[in-house]
Amino acid sequence: RNLQTMKKLTQKFIDKGLSEDEALESAQVDYKKRAKKTMKTRIENNSFGFQKASKQSLEFFKPLMDYLDKENIEYYVGVEGNSEWFLASGVEYFYSYDFCIPSKKLIIEYNGEHIHPNPKMDKAEWDRWTHCWSKKSADECRDLDLEKIKLAESKGYNVIEVFESDGILSTELI
């Protein structure tokens, strides 16, 4: 879809009499402006539809969701057409959060340990650990997780981190 948009924008500038190189450069500038505007709107409306919760986290959150539904308390989790909660740090950077109860200013992050290194690991495990897709180290991934938590806390949210090996139930958080 992005490629199609770039082709259309480039053609628009060629039709205006620019050379191919000039048209491509102008299209890139135009595309970046459009993308920033779209991102700003999505951030303001918290309307990102592409982040979805893992099956593992949904199993964890399901009892909490049932409780909150019964109590008629609004929450955000990436399931059943809903998107995860997002917070922005400027227009370029945003973070998604697994579970959020906005009225309580509470965020719960469920961390599968193939994606998030558990700080409780011993040093040897920590040094061997790599992200399952990006192959980033435990230090790199933990720094990103802490950055995300710090942003939420700076906006007044309490953040609870739960790691899959913690063995707790979401109902214990209620």
Task: State the average pLDDT over residues 99-106.
Answer: 92
Per-residue pLDDT band for 156 (boundaries 50, 70, 90) equals very high
- What is the per-residue pLDDT for 55? 73
6 compared with 75, residue with greater pLDDT: 75
Per-residue pLDDT band for 141 (boundaries 50, 70, 90) equals very high
What pTM was estimated for this model as a whole? Answer: 0.69
- What is the per-residue pLDDT for 48? 46
- What is the per-residue pLDDT for 95? 82
- What is the per-residue pLDDT for 96? 82
Per-residue pLDDT band for 52 (boundaries 50, 70, 90) equals low
| DSSP notation for the chain | -HHHHHHHHHHHHHHTT--HHHHHHHHHHHHHHHHHHHHHHHHHHT--------HHHHHHHHHHHHHHHHTT---EES-TT---EEEEETTTEEEEESEEEGGGTEEEEEE-TTTS--TTS-HHHHHH-B-TTT--BHHHHHHHHHHHHHHHHHTT-EEEEEEGGG---GGGG-
Task: State the average pLDDT over residues 140-152.
Answer: 94
- What is the per-residue pLDDT for 49? 47
- What is the per-residue pLDDT for 62? 87
70 compared with 173, residue with greater pLDDT: 70
Q: CA 145 from chain center: how many Å? A: 11
Confidence check: pLDDT of 51 > 60: no
Q: What is the pLDDT of residues 13-41, one digit of tens each?
A: 899 999 988 887 887 778 667 656 655 55
Distance CA 159, CA 105 (A): 9
Per-residue pLDDT band for 158 (boundaries 50, 70, 90) equals very high
